[in-house]
Every structure is written in C-alpha cells, then in structure tokens.
Amino acid sequence: MALLKTISIQNFKCYRKQQVFNLSQSNFFIGTNNAGKSAVLKAIHCFFDDNQYFSEFINKTELRSKGSGANKTVISITFDFNAITTKLLRGRLVTYYGADTVTIFKNFTFRESTNKILVDYTINDMTLTYEELPVDILDL
C-alpha cells in the first residue's frame, strides 16, 4: 500500500490546467520528450521542499494570460492513512479527518511586483501557513 495516493498539478511547468495522477506502489512515467514526466517528479519534490520551487515553474502561457490565479501553482497530494505503520499516528489522523485519506493542497503564489513566492496550504477548506500545520500532518 502506498502512502501517496494521488498527485494533482495545476499551473506548473507544462501543466496549465489541473492534471491528476494516480499513484501506487510502483509507477512508470512513459512518454515522449517534453511530455511532462520530469515535471511530475519535480512537483512532488516541490511539495515536500519549498526551496525547490522557483517562479520559472509557473506555466508561462497561463502567467501571460493575467487571468484569475495565473500567478498561482497548486500541487495537491492525497495521503492514504492505511499505509502508515504507526498505529497511534494513523488513529489520530483518521479520528481528526474522519476518513482514511486527506488531501493537502500546497499553493505557491508568485508576486511579480516584489518577485516573492508566498506558500500556504489548504486542508479541508482551511488555509494555513507552514507554522499553523498540525504536527500530525508534518509527521506525514
């Protein structure tokens, strides 16, 4: 059983619109050059390490459109609590979230005027900073 169940990518590198990938114990990314195989892996890396995300990763077509959310990349991962071997942690997560899974959205917002990237998280319609994330979520 895999801890990461799905990853969703929006406005990241070659992915302009939301693209969802189902994950399992083993995954194979097969495609032509520039199909987005490495982008999926880089998105996972950025999800777990803020320092790996750069403004150049925003889809250029979307950014130039200047539409609503054009400066925002959203990467979400659904975690499967059944893959957690620590019974206490799994029990707390299931009790708190009321399900065997939780989807965490990581939002990168690029501010062109200051050339800064703001990062926040959305869990169950609650927007949180890294410092506000529950300890059990950080343990994931």
We report the CATH number of the domain holding residue 67 as 3.40.50
What is the reported pTM?
A: 0.92
| Segment 53-77, tens digit of pLDDT | 999 999 988 888 888 888 999 999 9
Best CA proximity match to 134, nearest among 124, 6, 58: 124
- Tell me the DSSP string of 7-57: EEEESBTTB-S-EEEE--SS-----STTSSHHHHHHHHHHHH-GGG--GGG
pLDDT digits (tens, 9 = 90+) for 6-24: 999 999 999 999 999 999 8
Whether the predicted pLDDT of 94 surpasses 90: yes
* Amino acid residing at 32: T
Residue 121, domain extent: 4-139
Domain count, the chain: 1
Name all contacts of 59-67 with Cβ < 8 Å and 24+ positions apart. Answer: 59/11, 59/12, 59/13, 59/14, 59/15, 59/16, 61/16, 62/11, 62/16, 63/110
